[in-house]
Amino acid sequence: MTQLTQTAPAPYYTRIAPTTGWIALNLKEVWAYRELLYFLAWRDVKVRYRQTVLGAAWAVLVPFLTMVVFNVLFGVLMGANGKPTIEGVPYTLSTFAAMVPWMMFAFVVTQSSNSLVANRNMITKVYFPRLIAPLAPVLSALVDFLSAFAVLGAMIVAYHFTADFKFVPSWRLLLLPAFVLLASLTALGISMWLSALNALYRDVKYALPFLVQILMFASPVVYPAAKVLRANIPQWAKVLYGLNPMVSVLEGFRWALFGTNDVSLPIVGLSSLMVLVMLLGGMFYFRRTERLFADLA
């Protein structure tokens, strides 16, 4: 049997006492547990497509087929030239470019909101900063995102050489990660609230798929935002629409890739600000209800 080696003596100190009301986020502790965050995300990735025939291809197939469905649908309803697209960009490309970040967003919202219930058995047996649970899907979603994004890249190249579409790379591409970040933070901001609520009220489980679906139509995924912003609707409705952070994310993607500009910088700034408020509020709410999770989850 091996000798137990003494770990470096460090002045570890833990104080356990009841908490009330609002408590600090304690992000330092989350940082100290970053390896667990990584391992949980890694587990999700490794397990996700086990026992499937197509495996990771699903990460690409789902957004691709969704795009195809809308392509056919709008083609039938509005004729080949009436599809809601942006000038100079084929509908297939403009939709797929938004579908890729959208699928990531939808995945994170779904998984994170369910994370406390899904990790119930860990939460009732082991301590870790509970914030880790809804954070992990953000990382694991990136893997699917990258594979789908690679396919998007390949499609752009293919269109560039075969169709009446020219791709012009520019500095704007460098801002893509910023929009990925904004999408992740938006998803997290929603999930912080929903995961905590889900631990307390199982209604969330039933409302969630519906919510994601509604959000998809309230975001410019299968149509450009311009169709709404230039539609004949009251001004307040347009403002409300612009407040949806996913409008900025998706049009941001199109802007970075194709140079369209449906959404202006002030709108992006405003929705980023809104995301931060929602995220911070959500995290505090999460921390506030955290003490009940082990007893109720």
Partner 1 sequence: MKPAIRIKNIAKRYRLGEEHHSTIGDALAAMFNRRKGKVSKQPEEIWALKDVSFDVAPGEVVGIIGRNGAGKSTLLKILSRITEPTQGEIELHGRVSSLLEVGTGFHPELSGRDNVYLNGSVLGMKKAEIDRKFDEIVDFSGVEKFLDTPVKHYSSGMQVRLAFAVAAHLEPEILIVDEVLAVGDAEFQRKCLGRMSEVADSGRTILFVSHNMAAVENLCTRGVLLQGGQVAFSGTTSECIGQYASCFKEKLLDGTIKGKLITRAEFLDGDCRVGSISMGQGVVLTLAFRTPKVTQRPRVGVVFRRRLTGEAVFSIDSDMLGASWASRPADRFQARFVFEELNLIHGEYLVDLYVGCDGENFERLKQALELHVLVSDVFGTGRLPDSHFGPMFVTPILSLDAA
Residue 295: CB partners within 8 Å, gap ≥ 6? none
Cβ–Cβ under 8 Å, residues 181 and 252: no
**Cα maximum dimension of the chain:** 78
Quote the radius of gyration of the chain (alpha carbons, Å).
Answer: 22
Query: DSSP letter string over 154-167?
Result: HHHHHHHHHSS---
Nearer to partner 1, 160 or 202 (CB): 202
Query: DSSP letter string over 228-288?
Result: HHTSSS-HHHHHHHHH-HHHHHHHHHHHHHH----S-HHHHHHHHHHHHHHHHHHHHHHHH
Q: Which of 125, 232, 234, 265 binds partner 1 (CB under 8 A)?
A: 125
Nearer to partner 1, 103 or 136 (CB): 136
Site for partner 1 in 28-47 (CB under 8 A): 35-36, 39, 43, 46-47
Nearer to partner 1, 85 or 140 (CB): 140
Minimal distance, residue 125 CB to partner 1, in Å: 5
Q: Report which residue type is found at 125.
A: K
Residue 270: CB partners within 8 Å, gap ≥ 6? 242, 243
Our finding on whether 160 is near partner 1 (CB under 8 A) is: no
Q: Which stretch binds partner 1 (CB under 8 A): 15-23, 85-93, 186-194, 243-251?
A: 15-23
Minimal distance, residue 211 CB to partner 1, in Å: 14
Minimal distance, residue 106 CB to partner 1, in Å: 23
Our finding on whether 51 is near partner 1 (CB under 8 A) is: yes
Nearer to partner 1, 58 or 165 (CB): 58
Our finding on whether 295 is near partner 1 (CB under 8 A) is: yes
Nearer to partner 1, 185 or 297 (CB): 297
Q: In the block, which residue shows the tokens 């980023």? A: 272
Residue 262: CB atoms within 10 Å: 20
Our finding on whether 50 is near partner 1 (CB under 8 A) is: yes
Q: Which stretch binds partner 1 (CB under 8 A): 66-74, 124-132, 217-225, 226-234?
A: 124-132
Site for partner 1 in 194-223 (CB under 8 A): 200-203
Query: DSSP letter string over 163-183?
Result: SS------GGGGGHHHHHHHH
Binding site for partner 1 (CB under 8 A): 1-2, 4-7, 10-19, 35-36, 39, 43, 46-47, 50-51, 121-128, 200-203, 291, 294-296
